[in-house]
Amino acid sequence: MKMSEKTVRRGLYGMFAGGLLAFGSAAIVMPVVNAEPAPGPGMEPKNCSVSAIADTSRTVSESTSTYLAGNPEANDALTNIVEQSPADVTQAFRTYFAENPQVQTELKTINQPAIDLASQCGVEVTPTPITEALTDL
C-alpha cells in the first residue's frame, strides 16, 4: 500500500517545520501482501521484529535530520517542495534530485537501511517522507 501524496505532504510538513528534524517522525510500518517467505537452509534468518524495524526507522530518521540540519540549502529546497500542490510533490522531488545528484546519493545512502529492511522483511518502512520519495525514484 502506497501513501498518498497528501499523506507525504503532511509528513513533510511535520518533518521540516521550523527546520527542527531532530525529533524525527514515527515509522509507518504496514504489512505487504506478498511478504517474503521464511529463509531456506543455509540462509540467515532476517531480523524483522518490530523492535528492529523501529530501531532502523529511528536511526534513519536521526541521520536524515542531522544531514539536513548540516545542509540548509537542501533542507530549504525540500521544505519548499511540500508547499506545492499534492499533485506536484512527487515530480518536484524527482526534479530536485535530478538537479542535485549528490544530495540524492547522500540521502539515499542514509535511507538505504530502511529500504533494504522493507525489501528483506516484506513490510513498508518509511521513517521519513524522504525515504518514500527516494524509494519511488
Domain interval for residue 60: 5-17+45-135
Q: Is the residue at 81 inside a domain? A: yes
pLDDT at position 87, please?
Answer: 83
* Closest listed residue to residue 31, CA positions, set 122, 116, 119: 122
The torsion angles phi and psi of 68, rounded to 5 degrees, stand at -70, -35
Q: Is the residue at 56 inside a domain? A: yes
pLDDT at position 1, please?
Answer: 41
- Domain count along the chain: 1
Q: Is the residue at 27 inside a domain? A: no
pLDDT tens figures, 16-59: 433 333 333 333 333 333 344 444 444 445 688 899 999 999 99
Indicate the pLDDT class of residue 98, thresholds 50, 70 and 90: very high
- The domain spanning residue 51 has which CATH number? 1.20.20
Given CA atoms 101, 86, 119, 130 in this order, what sign does their dihedral have?
positive
pLDDT at position 126, please?
Answer: 79
List the single range of 18-22, 54-58, 118-122, 130-134 with lowest mean pLDDT: 18-22
pLDDT at 10 over 80: no
| Amino acid making up residue 124 | E
Better-scored residue on pLDDT, 3 or 83: 83
pLDDT at position 103, please?
Answer: 95
Beta bridge partners of 79: none
- Name the helix (H) or strand (E) containing 54: helix 50-70
How far is the C-alpha of 68 from the C-alpha of 47, rounded, in Å? 29
Q: Is the residue at 23 inside a domain? A: no
pLDDT at position 8, please?
Answer: 44
pLDDT at 113 over 90: yes
Q: Is the residue at 28 inside a domain? A: no
How far is the C-alpha of 45 from the C-alpha of 58, rounded, in Å? 22
Q: Is the residue at 58 inside a domain? A: yes
Q: Is the residue at 31 inside a domain? A: no
Percent of the chain with pLDDT over 90: 36
Q: Is the residue at 124 inside a domain? A: yes
